């Protein structure tokens, strides 16, 4: 009993001495496994685009914190992060050290963050129906690829949907 009391006091004192070491850093799903803490996603979008807001909500629904930034010149944003015409979609995001272009599913972003491949980012060119933020009432879905891309613009298929 005394051992548990001493341990409890040590944890309490430690939490005051080292406030940055917090149990809030982790989301515990079980006593044995901790889930990765997801970084904030900054999304640049046109203020008039509804699908961009729906994609941001898709990310929130999947555990991401999202900051939406309305931009007047999306072309300038895309150029500044290296998005060329063949990767272009309606919104551009930054998460961690990666660029995310278009309607990339949250699960693919989580995989990117977990695996940390040596790429610049992921893109879903265009606006495929049925992708996150582009859902249709009648359930119409286009097949689409999530592409990884590097600094030179070389692309590979990261995931097929």
Decide if 115 is inside a domain.
yes
Q: Is there a contact between 83 and 92 (Cβ–Cβ < 8 Å)?
A: yes
Residue 44 belongs to what domain range? 36-160
The pLDDT score that the predictor gives to residue 29 is 42
The pLDDT score that the predictor gives to residue 35 is 63
Helix 106-115 / helix 50-61 crossing angle, nearest 10 deg: 60
Q: How many CB atoms lie within 10 A of CB 62?
A: 14
Output the average pLDDT for the chain.
84
Decide if 85 is inside a domain.
yes
Decide if 28 is inside a domain.
no
The pLDDT score that the predictor gives to residue 49 is 87
The pLDDT score that the predictor gives to residue 3 is 41
CA angle 36, 42, 47 (to 5 degrees): 145
- Given a cut of 70, the residues of the chain with pLDDT beneath it are 1-35
The pLDDT score that the predictor gives to residue 28 is 40
Number of structural domains (the chain) is 1
Decide if 26 is inside a domain.
no
Paired strand residues for 52: none
Beta strands 98-102 and 121-124, pairing class = parallel
> What global pTM score does this model have?
0.77
The pLDDT score that the predictor gives to residue 97 is 95
Rounded Cα gap, residues 23 and 44, in angstroms: 32
CATH number of the domain at 101, please.
3.40.30.10
């Amino acid at each position: 009993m005394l051992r548990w009391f001493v341990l409890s006091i040590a944890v309490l004192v430690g939490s005051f001495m080292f406030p940055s070491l917090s149990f809030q850093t982790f989301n515990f799903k079980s006593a044995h496994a901790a889930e990765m803490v997801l970084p904030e996603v900054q999304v640049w979008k046109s203020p008039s685009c509804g699908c961009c807001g729906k994609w941001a909500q898709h990310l929130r629904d999947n555990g991401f914190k999202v900051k939406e930034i309305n931009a007047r010149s999306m072309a300038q944003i895309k150029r500044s992060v290296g998005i060329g015409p063949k990767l272009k979609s309606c919104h551009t995001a930054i998460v961690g050290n990666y660029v995310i272009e278009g309607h990339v599913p949250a699960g693919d972003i989580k995989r990117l963050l977990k695996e940390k491949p040596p790429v610049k980012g992921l893109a879903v060119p265009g606006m495929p129906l049925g992708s996150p933020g582009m859902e249709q009432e009648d359930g119409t879905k286009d097949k689409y690829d999530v592409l990884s891309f590097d600094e030179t613009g070389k692309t590979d298929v990261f995931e097929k949907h």
